[in-house]
Homo-oligomer: A and B are copies of this chain.
Amino acid sequence: MTEKYIFVTHSEENYLKVIYHLSSASPKGVNTNAIAAMMDTKASSVTDMIKKLAEKEMVLYQKYQGVSLTEQGLLAAKMIVRKHRLWEVFLVEKLDFSWDEVHDVAEELEHIKSEKLINKLDAFLNFPSEDPHGDPIPNQYGEIQKTDKQLLSEATVGKNYICVGVKDSSSAFLQYLNKQKIALGTPMKILEKETFDQTLLVEIEGEDKVLSHKIASNLYIN
């Protein structure tokens, strides 16, 4: 394997990460506009950046056809995700942050460039497999352990589940969950599902709670 080291800027890393996240939904090429929306920037800026990333062989790009990550780009993206999630674990487990406070800080920490740092941090945290939102943490080779989980919105009425993750990890949503006393590991039983709007009646910690379809389709259970 010829491993020439390619410097990737802070901004380029952010693009790689976004392309990575969007890739699962559209594996044959991510749209310029989708990237622009995620990055809160303009499509023209995205086009410019994609060209740079293509130069560096981090993405495959054909005009008007969208982008996809090269093997190299994929690994780079996974390493950013790895760093982001490991820092989140650190913030929650060691510094006592709550799960709705970690995102922005991790967003900065993920760009610190030191393999040694991140691998030592990984060991210090005891090689966690998931971040505080239930998302898997890639190992140092970019391997990701698949865990099976489903959305609460797809749950079967009458069955018992455990909350294992969130799809939306915005602080607004996480604070809502805090208020409802829903956390990772929280057991719940699906009591009823309203056919009209798919609202759920769920028993959580002895209390009956109404959860909207929007909520249910952002909570992972098992």
A binding-site residues for B, Cβ under 8 Å: 91, 94-97, 101, 104-105, 108-109, 112-114, 116-117, 120-121, 124
Contact = CB atoms under 8 A, between A and B. Distances in A.
Nearest to A97: B120
Contacts of A95: 117, 120-121, 124
Contact of A108 (B94, B113, B121): B113
B94 A117 contact: no
20 contacts: A91-B117, A94-B124, A95-B117, A95-B120, A95-B121, A95-B124, A96-B120, A97-B116, A97-B120, A101-B116, A104-B114, A105-B112, A105-B114, A105-B116, A105-B117, A108-B112, A108-B113, A108-B114, A109-B109, A109-B112
| A contact patch SS | helix
Contacts of A113: 108
Q: How many copies does the complex hold?
A: 2
Contacts of A109: 109, 112
Contacts of A108: 112-114
A103 to B, nearest CB: 12
Given A95-B124, A97-B120, A101-B116, 5 more contacts: A105-B116, A105-B117, A108-B114, A109-B109, A109-B112
A101 B97 CA distance: 28
Contacts of A121: 95
A114 B112 CA distance: 15
Nearest to A111: B108
Identify the 4 closest CB pairs spanning chains A and B, nearest first. A95-B120, A105-B114, A108-B112, A105-B117
A121 B91 CA distance: 9
Nearest to A95: B120
Contacts of A116: 97, 101, 105
